[in-house]
Chain A
Amino acid sequence: MFNLDGQVIPFQEGDTIMDAAMRAGVYIPHLCHDPEFTPHGSCKLCTVKVNGRNCSACTFPAAANQTVFNNSEELNEIRLTLTQMLFVEGNHFCPSCEKSGNCQLQGVGYELGMLDTHFPLFYPQRQMDASHPDILLDRDRCILCSLCVRASRDVDGKNVFAISGRGIHSELVVNAESGLLEDTDLSADDRAAHICPVGAIIVKRHGFEAPIGERLFDHQTVGEWSLDQFDTGEQAWQRD
């Protein structure tokens, strides 16, 4: 058992703080994490304070007698800043994005009370890849969470995606000599085609199937959705 914001949380051997908290029904904001995949710890939204030190809840092991702070003003301010950073780093035009309402980045923005992007926008020039007959890769919306990299490698066994570049020049690349999605073996049935938490990888000809107003985060918060998903074990991609 450990203490999370004053609440006693039981844990099992091998649990991370995120695992134990989700099982106990406590939401810790996150974007690069999906319980089904090896934790990555890159978005840093799940930063919690463990015995006075900041750690990623998705990778840090739960241990007896830990005192963990999650829903604190200080941490939520860091999370808000990180979300704003993700918005200004890419090109996110929510009103024209077909993922709007189903987008976890947008959902987290609402959850954290984000009203503006705060920082000057970077307006990066990123390449869009519409070459694949069934799947669109819009790098403007990529937040480098690596979920597609992990899904393609660990579930599909295809290694379609990788991260290239360094620092602010990091970008999502695909596994083909041409660098184009059409020359990979990615298929619309792949897990990697459905795991993207934002609108960077989307399956073509399925936009706006659910009208705005009837989408995931129109009636529930990203926190409620995330815990619900953990409870039922239902996978996000089977729903969208």
Chain B
Amino acid sequence: MGTDTMHVEIIRNTLARHRAEPTRLLQILRDVQDHFHQIPSFAMPVIAEETGVPIAQVRGVTEFYSFLSTAKQGRFHLLVSDSISDHLLGSRDIAAYLSQKLGVAIGQTRPDERVSVDYTSCTGLCDQGPAGLVNGHWIPHLTHARIDRIADLIERDIALSEWPEELFLVDDNIHKHGLLLNSELPLGAALRKGLQQGADATLAAIEKSGLRGRGGAGFPTAGKWRFCRQEAGEHIVVCNADEGEPGTFKDRVLLNQYAHGVFEGMTICAATIGANKGFLYLRGEYRHLRPQLEAILNTRREQQLLGADIVGQAGFDFDIEIHLGAGAYICGEESALIESLEGKRGVPRNRPPYPVTSGYLGKPTVVNNVETFLAAALITLHGGEWFAVHGTGKSCGTKILSICGDCANPGIYEYPFGVTIREILQDCGAENTQGIQVGGPSGTFIGANEFNRTLAFEDLATGGSFIVFDQTRNVLEIARNFTHFFAHESCGFCTPCRVGTSLLRNLLDKICDGHGTAGDMLELSRLATQIKHASHCGLGQTASNPVLSTLERFPEIYQAHLKTTTFEPGFNLDKALETSRRLTGRDDAQAHLETEGM
């Protein structure tokens, strides 16, 4: 057999493993990428032919996700997190050292195809950065010494499976246990109680608990389940574990320690709305967790907590499948997540219809966050009152926070809603705090005069990201990092977000680099507002928040960076003449322009 035939054979086997289902296109492409370290051009027609998906669409999906690549990546593919919390811990320096040590430029593959290095968006290890991924597996606490070891392993061509386990060790860092993190959930206890009391009683308990979605938007959970339940036809339960918001990692910890509870919550939801099929959409950065999650699902199948006739109840059939993402923040948006589950590009859908009426393959679908399902399971076991007595009027219960940045003890903290920011700062050991990014880049940046504010849907809402910045940090650089993040993660569907986030990034770069004028600052504010008001989905609608909230609170920092001229070009005029100088062979003083503004 020739090499080409052998390669095609490998692709056909991959396709067969996934029954060549078009909805599994992303999973198929992930497997192909793992094997060949790229999506080779000869793979696309084979995949297109067997799945029945047009080849243009196979290419469209391939080029949408960051972890898929048409260009050849190294057998060891290293990614360094570009999240702000990793920046604070020196990730840029680490990436430069890595690149120099391995003799490969960032964004490139070494000619021997052994190794490639690049940046990636947040890896979800913000409490133990600078962090990275090697072939999709976490490597926290990157130091020069650890990089030396990694480089040595790579140069000796030691297979990843032979690398010392210690390099991959990730801590959970739970510093404050609250209502959810303290609760014991005996295997199946909540589910049994839920089935015994019936769907109406379960819904009533969740309603009474006041539970609202923990992903950040805060839609009442009981309402979502009830809307979905009312719809006719087959129902679907989806757990959104695409925790992509920079600075958030609480779902990583919940899936590591509390996965039984999460799956139990999904199964209770299935019993309540009448679903047979469930998905855990696991972000690509969390693939390290997959084997243990599969093992937990198997245990639950053995215990009759999943599968057919669950806990002996005839006709209650439900199972959960894990779908792995491939590096796209937008897939945390529920309708984009559903598109991705269907094997497509993660482009948010138009609404209405909402997923509760028309979700996965047009079927009524509940999409909830990891923490929401865990809370739902515990509420089913303990009753609505148990939860509702904590928190504030409009925000019942507790919230699990991922805290990182400038504090002594980054990690996981659980608080009842209504806790003040000041109290949180004290607990995590934050000193000389300049400001906090609450709710990640898409949330709000608050300054020191706002630390009396509270964590609650009626004040500062959050999906769980809490990034602390002390007085030594440059606010403009923070806004710049976030603005670059959004420009990188925009799906490109709508004009304001696709083009606007790039324009915003370029304009902020101009100001940060010391070439901004008063006019540029006005333009920054105008553009940011328009992107916010015209974008299709939450990404575009919040992409300007870092700029808008820092402009509002720290105008003097922006002003200090401006030039006093009225106009400053967005490019270097003198540099633009370089080609002409080369062509004419001139490099004297008169062949150069003054670069000061007018």
Using a CB–CB cutoff of 8 Å, the interface residues on chain A facing chain B are 39-45, 47, 54, 56, 59, 61, 77-78, 81-82, 85-86, 88-89, 119-120, 122, 143-144, 159-170, 173-177, 179
Among B29-54, those with CB < 8 Å from A are 41, 44-45, 54
User: Is B350's beta carbon under 8 Å from chain A?
Assistant: yes
Closest 3 CB pairs of A and B: A170-B492, A162-B56, A85-B499
Report the Cα distance A43→B493, complex, angstroms.
8
User: Is B94's beta carbon under 8 Å from chain A?
Assistant: no
Report the Cα distance A169→B60, complex, angstroms.
11
The answer to whether A120 and B571 have CB atoms under 8 Å apart is yes
User: Is B197's beta carbon under 8 Å from chain A?
Assistant: no
The answer to whether A42 and B493 have CB atoms under 8 Å apart is yes
User: Is B352's beta carbon under 8 Å from chain A?
Assistant: yes
State whether A170 and B498 are in contact (beta carbons under 8 Å apart), knowing that A42-B536, A159-B54 are contacts in the complex. yes
User: Is B491's beta carbon under 8 Å from chain A?
Assistant: yes
Report the Cα distance A170→B488, complex, angstroms.
12
| Residues of chain B lying within 8 A (CB to CB) of residue A159 | 54, 56-57
Using a CB–CB cutoff of 8 Å, the interface residues on chain B facing chain A are 41, 44-45, 54-57, 59-60, 62-65, 328, 345, 350, 352, 487-496, 498-503, 506, 527, 530, 533-536, 570-571
Residue in chain A with minimal CB distance to B353? A61
The answer to whether A165 and B492 have CB atoms under 8 Å apart is yes
Report the Cα distance A159→B63, complex, angstroms.
18
| Residues of chain A lying within 8 A (CB to CB) of residue B45 | 177
| Residues of chain B lying within 8 A (CB to CB) of residue A163 | 60, 345, 492
| Residues of chain A lying within 8 A (CB to CB) of residue B350 | 39-41, 56, 59
| Residues of chain A lying within 8 A (CB to CB) of residue B503 | 85, 88, 119-120
| Residues of chain B lying within 8 A (CB to CB) of residue A81 | 496, 527, 530, 534
| Residues of chain A lying within 8 A (CB to CB) of residue B495 | 42-45, 82, 85-86, 143
| Residues of chain B lying within 8 A (CB to CB) of residue A78 | 496, 530, 533-534
Report the Cα distance A30→B449, complex, angstroms.
45
| Residues of chain B lying within 8 A (CB to CB) of residue A164 | 56, 59-60, 62-64
The answer to whether A168 and B44 have CB atoms under 8 Å apart is no
The answer to whether A41 and B499 have CB atoms under 8 Å apart is no
Report the Cα distance A177→B59, complex, angstroms.
10
| Residues of chain A lying within 8 A (CB to CB) of residue B489 | 167
Report the Cα distance A161→B55, complex, angstroms.
10
| Residues of chain A lying within 8 A (CB to CB) of residue B64 | 164-166
The answer to whether A54 and B533 have CB atoms under 8 Å apart is yes
Most buried by A among B56, B503, B527: B56
| Residues of chain B lying within 8 A (CB to CB) of residue A168 | 487, 490, 492, 498-499, 501-502
State whether A167 and B501 are in contact (beta carbons under 8 Å apart), knowing that A85-B496, A144-B492 are contacts in the complex. yes
Nearest-neighbour CB distance to chain A for B4, whole angstroms, equals 14
| Residues of chain A lying within 8 A (CB to CB) of residue B570 | 120
Residue in chain B with minimal CB distance to A40? B350
20 A-B pairs within 8 Å (CB atoms) are namely A39-B350, A40-B350, A42-B536, A44-B494, A44-B495, A61-B352, A78-B496, A160-B56, A162-B57, A162-B59, A163-B345, A165-B60, A166-B65, A166-B492, A167-B498, A168-B492, A168-B499, A173-B56, A173-B60, A177-B44
The answer to whether A44 and B63 have CB atoms under 8 Å apart is no
Known: A41-B350, A77-B530. 6 other contacts (CB 8 A): A45-B495, A82-B495, A85-B495, A159-B56, A165-B492, A166-B345
The answer to whether A174 and B491 have CB atoms under 8 Å apart is no
Report the Cα distance A163→B534, complex, angstroms.
21
Complex partner residue of A173 from B59, B490, B499, CB under 8 angstroms: B59
Report the Cα distance A162→B535, complex, angstroms.
22
Report the Cα distance A165→B64, complex, angstroms.
5
Residue in chain A with minimal CB distance to B540? A44
The answer to whether B488 and A167 have CB atoms under 8 Å apart is yes
Most buried by A among B59, B499, B530: B499
The answer to whether B491 and A161 have CB atoms under 8 Å apart is no
Nearest-neighbour CB distance to chain A for B236, whole angstroms, equals 23
The answer to whether A44 and B492 have CB atoms under 8 Å apart is no
| Residues of chain B lying within 8 A (CB to CB) of residue A86 | 495, 499
Residue in chain A with minimal CB distance to B352? A61
Residue in chain A with minimal CB distance to B489? A167
The answer to whether B490 and A167 have CB atoms under 8 Å apart is yes
Nearest-neighbour CB distance to chain A for B505, whole angstroms, equals 9
Report the Cα distance A59→B350, complex, angstroms.
7
State whether A177 and B491 are in contact (beta carbons under 8 Å apart), knowing that A44-B536, A168-B499 are contacts in the complex. no
Residue in chain A with minimal CB distance to B493? A42
| Residues of chain B lying within 8 A (CB to CB) of residue A39 | 350
| Residues of chain B lying within 8 A (CB to CB) of residue A56 | 350, 536
Nearest-neighbour CB distance to chain B for A214, whole angstroms, equals 31
Report the Cα distance A161→B494, complex, angstroms.
18
Report the Cα distance A41→B62, complex, angstroms.
23
The answer to whether B63 and A54 have CB atoms under 8 Å apart is no
Report the Cα distance A166→B506, complex, angstroms.
18
| Residues of chain B lying within 8 A (CB to CB) of residue A120 | 503, 506, 570-571
| Residues of chain B lying within 8 A (CB to CB) of residue A42 | 493-495, 536
Residue in chain B with minimal CB distance to A43? B495
Residue in chain B with minimal CB distance to A85? B499
Complex partner residue of B56 from A77, A89, A175, CB under 8 angstroms: A175
Residue in chain B with minimal CB distance to A16? B350
| Residues of chain B lying within 8 A (CB to CB) of residue A43 | 494-495
The answer to whether A162 and B496 have CB atoms under 8 Å apart is no
| Residues of chain B lying within 8 A (CB to CB) of residue A162 | 54, 56-57, 59-60
Report the Cα distance A87→B472, complex, angstroms.
41
State whether A47 and B63 are in contact (beta carbons under 8 Å apart), knowing that A39-B350, A56-B350 are contacts in the complex. no
The answer to whether A167 and B487 have CB atoms under 8 Å apart is yes
Complex partner residue of B502 from A82, A122, A161, A175, CB under 8 angstroms: A122
Nearest-neighbour CB distance to chain B for A53, whole angstroms, equals 10
Report the Cα distance A179→B54, complex, angstroms.
12
Residue in chain B with minimal CB distance to A145? B495
The answer to whether B328 and A166 have CB atoms under 8 Å apart is yes
| Residues of chain A lying within 8 A (CB to CB) of residue B328 | 166
The answer to whether A166 and B44 have CB atoms under 8 Å apart is no
| Residues of chain A lying within 8 A (CB to CB) of residue B536 | 41-42, 44, 56
Most buried by B among A56, A85, A159, A176: A85
Nearest-neighbour CB distance to chain B for A74, whole angstroms, equals 8
Report the Cα distance A82→B496, complex, angstroms.
6
Residue in chain A with minimal CB distance to B42? A177
Nearest-neighbour CB distance to chain A for B10, whole angstroms, equals 19
| Residues of chain A lying within 8 A (CB to CB) of residue B491 | 166-167
